[in-house]
Amino acid sequence: MGAALLIQAYVLWTYRELLLNANGPIPWALGDSWVDPVLPKLSDLLPLFSAAGLGAEAVVATVLAVHAVAAAFLMVGYRSRAAALFAWATFVLIKDSSPAFLYGVGAMMLIALFYCLLMPVAREWSLDRLLKAPMPGGRDASFSVLVLRMHLCIVYAAAGIAKAAGEQWWAGDAIWRALSLPQFRQFDPSPLLAYPLLLQALAIGTILAQLAYPVLVWTRARVVIVAATELMHLGIAIFLGLWLFSLMMIVLNAAAFGESVWKAISARWLRRPPPGAAASAR
Amino acid sequence: MRRMARRDKVIWAATAVHLAIAAFYGLHVRLEFHIPQALDRVLSIYGGLTGVRARFDFFAPEVPNEARADFLIVPADGAARRVRLAATPSGEANRRMALMFTIYAYPTERERLLRAWGEYMLRLHPDAVEVVSRVEMLEIPSVRDSAAGKRATWTEVGRATVRRGAEPGR
**pLDDT (mean) for A247-251:** 96
pLDDT at A274: 58
CB atoms within 10 A of CB A52: 7
Smallest Cβ–Cβ distance between B96 and the set A19, A165, A193 belongs to: A19
pLDDT at A153: 96
**Whether the predicted pLDDT of A44 surpasses 60:** yes
**pLDDT (mean) for B67-85:** 92
Distance to chain B for A242, nearest Cα, Å:
8
CB contact under 8 A, A176 and B142: yes
Instruction: Strand B66-75: give its sheet, edge to edge.
Output: B81-83, B66-75, B128-139, B153-163
| Within a domain: A280 | no
* pLDDT, tens digit (0-9, with 9 covering 90-100), for A157-199: 999 999 999 999 999 999 999 999 999 999 999 999 999 999 9
Instruction: Considering only residues B60 and A5, tell me which one the structure prediction assigns the higher pLDDT.
Output: A5
CB contact under 8 A, B61 and A169: yes
H helix runs in chain A, sequence order: 2-14, 16-19, 28-32, 42-51, 56-76, 80-97, 104-118, 127-130, 142-164, 167-171, 173-180, 196-216, 222-240, 243-269, 277-281
CB atoms within 10 A of CB A231: 12
Residue where one domain finishes, among candidates A140, A161, A196: A140
CB contact under 8 A, A165 and B143: no
CB contact under 8 A, A26 and B152: no
Whether residue A120 sits in one domain with residue A190 = no
| Within a domain: A278 | no
Whether residue A188 sits in one domain with residue A127 = no
CB contact under 8 A, B146 and A165: no
Highest-confidence range of A79-93, A254-268, B87-101, by mean pLDDT? A79-93
Whether residue A117 sits in one domain with residue A225 = no
C-alpha–C-alpha distance, residues B133 and B69, integer Å: 7
Secondary structure (DSSP) of B59-97:
T-SSPPPEEEEEEEEEESSS--EEE-PPPPS-HHHHHHH
**Whether the predicted pLDDT of B1 surpasses 80:** no
pLDDT at A196: 94
Distance to chain B for A272, nearest Cα, Å:
34
CA-nearest of A12, A181, A206, A4 to A102 is A12
The range of the structural domain enclosing residue A21 comes to: 2-140
Chain B residues in contact with A241 (beta carbon < 8 A): 91, 95
C-alpha–C-alpha distance, residues B154 and B140, integer Å: 9
Chain B residues in contact with A23 (beta carbon < 8 A): 120, 123
- Using CA atoms, how far residue B83 sits from A217, A230, B77, B134, B137, in Å, is 50, 40, 17, 11, 17
CB contact under 8 A, B85 and A172: no
Residue where one domain finishes, among candidates A140, A175, A205: A140
Whether residue A198 sits in one domain with residue A126 = no
Whether residue A152 sits in one domain with residue A131 = no
* Range with lowest mean pLDDT among A126-130, A228-232, B44-48, B161-165: A126-130
Smallest Cβ–Cβ distance between A159 and the set B50, B58, B152 belongs to: B58
Residue numbers of A between 48 and 77 with CB closer than 8 Å to B? none
pLDDT at A70: 97
* Range with lowest mean pLDDT among A52-66, A193-207, B2-16: B2-16
Angle at A4 between CA A3 and CA A7, to 5 degrees: 85
CB contact under 8 A, B146 and A103: no
Whether residue A155 sits in one domain with residue A116 = no
| Within a domain: A46 | yes
pLDDT at B169: 45
* Range with lowest mean pLDDT among A268-282, B14-28, B62-76: A268-282
| Within a domain: A8 | yes
CB contact under 8 A, A110 and B103: no
pLDDT at A280: 46
pLDDT at A275: 59
| Within a domain: A119 | yes
Whether residue A257 sits in one domain with residue A191 = yes
Interface-testing mutation among B21, B71, B100, with chain A (most A C-beta atoms within 10 A) = B100
C-alpha–C-alpha distance, residues A120 and A138, integer Å: 7
pLDDT at A134: 63
Whether residue A153 sits in one domain with residue A114 = no
* pLDDT, tens digit (0-9, with 9 covering 90-100), for A58-93: 999 999 999 999 999 999 999 999 999 999 999 999
pLDDT at A75: 94
Q: Is the dihedral of CA A228, A230, A231, A236 positive or negative?
A: positive
CA-nearest of A163, A139, A112 to A1 is A112
**Whether the predicted pLDDT of A137 surpasses 70:** no
Chain A residues in contact with B93 (beta carbon < 8 A): 11, 14-15, 18-19
**pLDDT (mean) for B74-94:** 90
Chain B residues in contact with A151 (beta carbon < 8 A): 19, 22
Whether residue A60 sits in one domain with residue A115 = yes
pLDDT at B51: 93
| Within a domain: A14 | yes
3-state class (DSSP) for residue B129: strand
Look up residue B169 and give its DSSP letter: B
pTM of the model: 0.90
**Whether the predicted pLDDT of B2 surpasses 80:** no
**Whether the predicted pLDDT of A136 surpasses 90:** no
Whether residue A183 sits in one domain with residue A70 = no
Query: Which residues, in sequence order, are bridge partners of residue B72?
Result: B82, B132
> How many Å from the N-terminal Cα to the C-terminal Cα in chain A?
40
pLDDT at B167: 53
Secondary structure (DSSP) of A153-196:
HHHHHHHHHHHHT-HHHHHTHHHHHHHHSTTT--S--GGGGG-H
C-alpha–C-alpha distance, residues A196 and A192, integer Å: 7
pLDDT at B78: 83
Give φ, ψ of A185 to 5 degrees: -70, 120
Chain A residues in contact with B143 (beta carbon < 8 A): 171-173, 176, 193, 196, 199
Average pLDDT of every residue of chain A: 91
pLDDT at B31: 77
Smallest Cβ–Cβ distance between A36 and the set B48, B51, B120 belongs to: B48
Strands B81-83 and B66-75 turn out to be antiparallel
Query: Which residues, in sequence order, are bridge partners of residue B134?
Result: B70, B159
| Within a domain: A42 | yes
Chain B residues in contact with A155 (beta carbon < 8 A): 26, 56
* Distant-in-sequence, close-in-space partners of A270: CB < 8 Å, separation ≥ 6: none
C-alpha–C-alpha distance, residues A196 and A5, integer Å: 38
The DSSP element (H or E) to which B133 belongs, if any, is strand B128-139
Whether the CB of A277 is below 8 Å from some CB of chain B: the reply is no
Q: How far is CA B118 from the centre of its chain?
A: 18
Number of domains in chain A: 2
Work out how many CB contacts closer than 8 A connect A with B: 178
Whether the CB of A104 is below 8 Å from some CB of chain B: the reply is yes
CA-nearest of A142, A122, A141, A140 to A132 is A122
Burial class (CB in 10 A: 0-12, 13-18, 19+), A125: exposed
C-alpha–C-alpha distance, residues B163 and B168, integer Å: 6
Distance to chain A for B60, nearest Cα, Å:
5
The ipTM of this complex is: 0.88
Instruction: Considering only residues A139 and B166, tell me which one the structure prediction assigns the higher pLDDT.
Output: B166
Buried b (16+ CB within 10 A) or exposed e, B89-108: eebbbbbbbbbbbbbbeeee
**Whether the predicted pLDDT of B14 surpasses 80:** yes
Q: What region does B3 belong to: left with phi over 0, alpha with psi -120 to 50, or beta? A: beta
CB contact under 8 A, B143 and A199: yes
Whether residue A167 sits in one domain with residue A119 = no
The DSSP element (H or E) to which B17 belongs, if any, is helix B6-26
Residue where one domain finishes, among candidates A140, A174, A205: A140
Smallest Cβ–Cβ distance between A172 and the set B15, B66, B143 belongs to: B143
Distance to chain B for A185, nearest Cα, Å:
10
Whether the CB of A31 is below 8 Å from some CB of chain B: the reply is no
Whether residue A168 sits in one domain with residue A71 = no
| Within a domain: A279 | no
Angle at A153 between CA A259 and CA A171, to 5 degrees: 120
